[in-house]
């Protein structure tokens, strides 16, 4: 399968220029690049959602036209996006066969037995047996929802070409480790069945593990296409960024102070217990653990959203804030995990999103606000047209920078970071690390929760390991590897459940 | 960028076209100072309700109870007048009722967490029932209404000095302008307004960024309630009477005006000056079509269709 000469211009901006990609059946091909490199546009062209300015698609030597989403489906292309648009009110089987003609009985009534049979068949083809197809889809976890979407992509209408290409767009963004494993097993299976797979992801470890080939885009241009066996992690990063940032963590130049910002003694809440740690000015404490071990809840203790039920907790020698508004006014800044739903007002401009927690008094002066916004935007190296631009128009990395610009609005005394670099490309990640380092050197105490283990190891002074809400240990990351840390999660998990 | 500007300006262009149309159709009567002043007075009540409605719609909320609140406020004032209380007590009591009604709406929506549609549909019925209960279902008019109260709507600032002999700028129109100015300052020039827009943008994100969502939402409903009560007083003054249903028509028109205005927002957000354009479109259509002796039912259909066309073209352009 070949996609040649793809070009796309949006107004005067060239988003893709003469990109060529060759995919082979039975191989997983990674598509990598920073945010704004043109990956999303590339996928939109393949899906027929956006018309290309130039594009030739050949399948087994014969040309295919892609003018609409229907063309792409008819050609056997299937797309699994990171947003899992399932219909929670319907059953799993209905979700899988959505868009198909329902099997009927007496020309009128839905044949539920047949529906369930077909759905089971689709899941079985993926090697998935554990999902009850008659359950409500809304009751399923994120990982199972992903499997449903894949099963649904697998089913083809009468008269359509059977699926020959699966495009996965950041499929593990919302999955935990175990769910990702299931997904990788399914991908391996699709591969065995002879499908070509295009795998778009930011996560280097995952790509190295799952994929056979890689194509790197940068600024809308094709940089390289190689077999992964013949390249290295460092070479791919270099190709993506055009600069060498393999050693991606800025070194600490000052030592954390001795003044204590917060102190936790046997603190507990509805979901947390036995929290015992102190955070000094300028110190970065990492929160680690398997997904859903209480990381977000721990951060939210400091916002008054998770109520303390026991122990002694002190923030700057007084009780913890009782509400987010009190928290911000006492110098707590929060970068939430979900940028779109918790972080930003997507349809509002950069100015409001940046300054919101920092409004004081009743008078709002636009000119002054603009100056302040530009100032903060500069500090986070935001690429935007200006304070008036709507946030949804920015790339993911730049959106995250807006959230950081907000946190910088006043030098925070306590900075709470929840997955600060999720869905952010490597270049922007590096800039965010630099910012975090800078803030710590200016004396902010920082608590950072992340599932990106190299990030925790590279940035933190100490790492607190949580397991099912219980503090298991605090470790010094010096000399540790990701695998050591991961090992500790599982040990902690066993100890808690035992 | 230019296309976006054109989309935003489409509704304003529509208003100009409507004015042009009536100017040609009604060459002698439409574009005269007398008629325009008349229009400004006709739309003043709707304008006040629509401006007040804009405040809650900025947060993505609704208030369906404004019409019955307007009726109730008029009734409360009139009943107190009938009992012999002085003017200021009647007016103050009516505004206080608006405030309390708004507080109830705010409590139900922001504290209890009922959808605004459902909560204010409930209070709509309550306020309406209360208006009937307090008035005994009668229209209060005639000698019960003090002349100083109904005189307000009939007087204005003489415009002889600017060459419009015999014409007055009605106090009702001035009241609407004052409410417009207050609302504009509140929404565009204060941190309060910024926070309301943030709540409309993403309530959860606003809360996590330290906005006191519950308190602000409640207070915005209070403002809307007071606005609705003020409009009710203006109405009662204009017709020199109060009956328990007279504000009923205001709610739908006010929402329509805000929606028309939202087609001019950069991201489809309500802006009070844009609401004014919406109010003008509805008011001028009504005035012009009445003068052209178009049947009132046909007028209703036309206005409904125009709102739909404006909003539809706006969302169509937005999604393409």
The answer to whether the CB of A84 falls within 8 A of the CB of A146 is yes
For residue A37 the two structure tokens come to 């490199």
Q: Does B185 touch chain A (CB under 8 A)?
A: no
Inter-chain residue contact B191 with A363, CB threshold 8 Å:
yes
Which residue on chain B is closest to A327 by alpha carbon?
B210
How is chain B split into domains, by residue range? 14-23+33-319
Give yes or no for A423 touching B (CB within 8 A).
no
Do A360 and B191 make contact, defined as CB atoms within 8 angstroms? yes
CB interface of A with B, residues 35-94, below 8 Å: none
Reported as a pLDDT band with limits 50, 70 and 90, residue B5 is low
Dihedral through CA B18, CA B20, CA B25, CA B28, nearest 10?
120
Q: Cβ of B201 and A359 within 8 Å? A: no
Q: Under a CB-based contact definition with an 8 Å cutoff, are residues A354 and A408 in contact?
A: no
Averaged confidence pLDDT in chain B: 92
Q: How confident is the model at residue A258 (pLDDT cuts 50, 70, 90)?
A: confident
CB distance B267–A348 less than 8 Å? yes
What is the pLDDT, as a whole number, of residue A493? Answer: 67
CATH 3.40.50.300-classified regions of chain A: 2-241, 247-331+411-498
Give the Cα separation of A413 and A440 in Å (integer): 9
Q: pLDDT per residue over A104-113, tens digit each?
A: 887 788 888 8
Q: Which helix (H) or strand (E) holds B42?
A: helix B33-42
Min Cα distance A315 → chain B (Å) is 17
| Fold of the CATH domain A247-331+411-498 | Rossmann fold (3.40.50)
Which chain A residues are within 8 Å of B201, Cβ to Cβ?
Answer: 345-348, 352
pLDDT digit string, tens, across residues A108-139? 888 888 888 988 888 887 778 888 888 888 88
Tell me if B208 and A406 make a contact (CB, 8 A cut-off): no
With contacts defined as CB-CB under 8 Å, which chain B residues touch A347? 201, 267-269
Q: Which backbone phi and psi does A214 adopt, to 5 degrees?
A: -140, 140
B210 touches chain A (CB under 8 A): yes
Q: Does B28 touch chain A (CB under 8 A)?
A: no
pLDDT at A304 over 60: yes
Cβ-Cβ contacts under 8 Å between A and B: the total is 79
B156 touches A at CB < 8 Å: no
Instruction: Using a CB–CB cutoff of 8 Å, tell me whether A385 touches chain B.
Output: no
Q: Is A447 on the interface with B (CB under 8 A)?
A: no
Residue B6: pLDDT band with limits 50, 70, 90: low
Task: Provide, as residue numbers in chain A, all residues whose Cβ is less than 8 Å from the Cβ of B191.
Answer: 359-364
pLDDT score, position A13: 57
Which chain A residue's Cα is nearest to B211? A325
> Residue A380 corresponds to which tokens in the numbers above?
């986070």
- The pLDDT tens digits of the residues spanning A62-106 come to 788 888 888 888 888 888 876 667 888 889 988 888 877 778 887
pLDDT, position B1: 40
Instruction: Render pLDDT for B170-220 as a digit per residue (tens, 0 to 9).
Output: 999 999 999 999 999 999 999 999 999 999 999 999 999 999 999 999 999
The residues near A330 (Cβ < 8 Å, ≥ 6 apart) are A315, A316, A321, A413
Say yes or no for a CB contact (<8 Å) between B201 and A357: no
**How far is it, in rounded angstroms, from Cα A153 to Cα A188?**
16
Q: At what angle do helices B66-82 and B87-106 cross, to 10 degrees?
A: 150
Tokens 């009504």 locate to: B286
d(CA A173, CA A180): 9
Give dist(CA A363, CA A433) in Å, integer. 35
Task: Identify the residue among B210, B212, B213, B318 best suited for mutation to test binding to A, counting A beta carbons within 10 A and taking the highest.
Answer: B210
pLDDT digit string (tens) for A218-246? 878 888 888 888 888 878 877 877 665 54
Chain B residues close to A329, C-beta within 8 Å: 210
Smallest CA–CA distance, residue B110 to chain A, in Å, is 16
| CATH number 3.30.410.40 is the correct assignment for the domain at A2-241 | no
Q: Does A346 touch chain B (CB under 8 A)?
A: yes
Q: Lowest-confidence range among A286-295, B46-55, B77-86, B273-282?
A: A286-295
| Structure tokens that stand for A58 in this block | 């050949």
Tell me the mean pLDDT in the region A373-382.
93
- Residue bearing the bigger pLDDT, A160 or B238: B238
Q: What is the pTM of this model?
A: 0.80
In this prediction, residue A6 carries a pLDDT of: 66
Residue of A490 and A262 predicted with greater confidence = A262
Whole-number Cα distances in Å, B307 to B14, B133, B257, B269: 11, 35, 8, 16
The predicted structure's pLDDT at residue A437 = 93
| A226–B contact, CB cutoff 8 A | no
Q: Is the pLDDT of residue A175 over 80?
A: no
pLDDT at A14: 63
Token pair listed for A94: 């209905």
Residue B60 CB burial class (10 angstroms; 0-12, 13-18, ≥19): middle
A324/B192 CB distance under 8 A: no
CB neighbours of A128 closer than 8 A, spacing ≥ 6? A147, A151, A182, A186
Is the dihedral angle over the CA atoms B251, B257, B263, B266 positive or is it negative? negative
Confidence check: pLDDT of A36 > 50: yes
DSSP A7: E
Q: Is the pLDDT of residue A15 over 90?
A: no
**Tokens 């929290």 -> residue:** A275
Work out the angle at residue A24's Cα, subtended by the Cα atoms of residues A21 and A29, and round it to the nearest 5 degrees.
Answer: 60
Instruction: Provide, rounded to the nearest whole percent, the portion of chain A with pLDDT above 70.
Output: 92
B window 226-255, beta carbon within 8 A of A = none
Which residues lie across from A474 on neighbouring strands? A464
- Quick check: B207 contacting A, CB < 8 Å? yes
CATH domain B14-23+33-319 topology: ABC transporter involved in vitamin B12 uptake, BtuC (1.10.3470)
* Residue B62 per-residue DSSP state: -
Calpha distance A91→A87 (Å, rounded): 8
């Amino acid at each position: 399968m070949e996609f040649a000469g793809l070009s796309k211009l949006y107004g005067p901006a060239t988003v893709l220029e003469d990109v060529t990609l060759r995919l082979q059946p039975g191989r997983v091909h990674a598509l990598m690049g920073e945010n704004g490199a043109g990956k999303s546009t590339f996928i939109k062209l393949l899906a027929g959602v956006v018309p290309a300015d130039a594009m030739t698609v050949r399948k087994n030597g014969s040309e295919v036209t892609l003018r609409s989403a229907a063309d792409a489906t008819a050609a056997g292309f299937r797309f699994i996006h990171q947003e899992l648009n399932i219909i929670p009110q319907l059953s799993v089987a209905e979700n899988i066969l959505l868009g198909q003609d329902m099997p009927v009985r007496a020309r009128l009534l839905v044949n539920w037995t047949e529906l369930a049979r077909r759905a089971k068949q689709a899941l079985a083809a993926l090697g998935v047996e554990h999902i009850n197809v008659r359950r409500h889809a809304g009751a399923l976890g994120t990982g199972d929802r992903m499997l449903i979407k894949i099963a649904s992509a697998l089913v083809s209408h009468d008269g359509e070409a059977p699926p020959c290409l699966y495009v996965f767009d950041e499929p593990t963004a919302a999955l935990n480790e175990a769910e990702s494993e299931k997904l990788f097993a399914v991908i391996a299976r699709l591969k065995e069945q002879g499908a070509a797979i295009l795998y778009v992801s930011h996560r280097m470890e995952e790509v190295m593990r799952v994929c056979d080939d890689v194509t790197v885009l940068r600024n809308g241009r094709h940089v390289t296409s190689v077999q992964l066996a013949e390249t290295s992690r460092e070479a791919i990063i270099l190709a993506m960024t055009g600069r060498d940032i393999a050693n991606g963590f800025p070194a600490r130049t000052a030592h954390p102070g001795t003044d204590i910002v917060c102190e936790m003694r046997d603190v507990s809440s509805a979901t947390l217990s036995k929290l015992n740690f102190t955070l000094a000015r300028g110190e970065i404490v990492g929160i680690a653990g398997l997904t859903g071990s209480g990381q977000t809840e721990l951060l939210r203790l400091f916002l008054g959203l998770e109520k303390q039920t026991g122990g002694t907790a002190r923030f700057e020698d007084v009780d913890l804030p009782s509400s987010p508004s009190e928290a911000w006014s006492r110098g707590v800044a929060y970068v939430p995990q979900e940028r779109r739903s918790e972080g930003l007002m997507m349809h509002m401009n950069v100015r409001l999103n940046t300054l919101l927690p920092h409004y004081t008094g009743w008078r709002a002066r636009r000119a002054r606000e603009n100056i302040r916004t530009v100032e903060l935007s500069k500090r986070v190296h935001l690429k935007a047209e200006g304070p008036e631009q709507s946030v949804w128009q920015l790339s993911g990395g730049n959106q995250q920078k807006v959230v950081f610009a907000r946190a910088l609005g006043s030098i925070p005394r306590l900075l709470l970071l929840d997955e600060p670099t999720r869905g952010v490309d490597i270049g922007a990640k590096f800039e965010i690390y630099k910012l975090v380092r800078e803030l710590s050197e200016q004396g902010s105490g920082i608590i950072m929760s992340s599932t990106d283990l190299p990030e925790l190891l590279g940035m933190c002074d100490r790492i607190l390991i949580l397991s099912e809400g219980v503090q298991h240990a605090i470790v010094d990351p010096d000399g540790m590897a990701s695998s050591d840390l991961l090992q500790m999660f599982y040990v902690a998990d066993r100890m808690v459940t035992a | 960028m230019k296309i976006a500007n054109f989309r935003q300006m489409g509704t304003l262009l529509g208003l100009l076209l409507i004015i042009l149309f009536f100017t040609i159709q009604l060459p002698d009567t439409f574009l005269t100072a007398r008629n325009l002043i008349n229009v400004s007075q006709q739309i003043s009540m709707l304008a006040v309700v629509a401006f007040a409605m804009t405040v809650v719609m900025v947060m993505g909320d609704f208030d369906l109870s404004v019409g019955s609140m307007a009726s109730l406020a008029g009734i409360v004032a009139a009943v107190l007048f009938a009992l012999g209380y002085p003017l200021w007590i009647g007016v103050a009591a009516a505004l206080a009722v608006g405030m309390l009604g708004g507080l109830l709406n705010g409590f139900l929506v922001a504290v209890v967490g009922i959808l605004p549609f459902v909560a204010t549909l409930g209070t709509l019925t309550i306020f309406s029932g209360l208006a009937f209960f307090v008035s005994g279902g009668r229209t209060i008019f005639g000698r019960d209404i003090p002349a100083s109260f109904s005189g307000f709507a009939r007087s204005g600032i003489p415009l002889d000095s600017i060459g419009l002999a015999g014409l007055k700028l009605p106090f009702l129109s001035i009241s609407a302008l004052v409410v417009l100015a207050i609302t504009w300052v509140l929404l565009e020039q204060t941190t309060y307004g910024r926070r309301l827009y943030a709540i409309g943008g993403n309530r959860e994100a606003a809360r996590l960024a330290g906005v006191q969502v519950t308190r602000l939402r409640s207070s915005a409903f209070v403002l809307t309630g007071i606005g609705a009560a003020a409009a009710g007083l203006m109405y009662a003054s204009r017709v020199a009477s109060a009956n328990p249903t007279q504000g009923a028509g205001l709610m739908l028109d006010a929402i329509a005006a805000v929606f028309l205005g939202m087609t001019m927002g950069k991201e489809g957000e309500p802006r009070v000056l844009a609401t004014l354009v919406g109010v003008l479109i509805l008011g001028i259509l009504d005035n012009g079509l009445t003068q052209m002796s178009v049947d009132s039912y046909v007028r209703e259909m036309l206005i409904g269709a125009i709102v739909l066309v404006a909003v539809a073209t706006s969302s169509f352009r937005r999604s393409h």
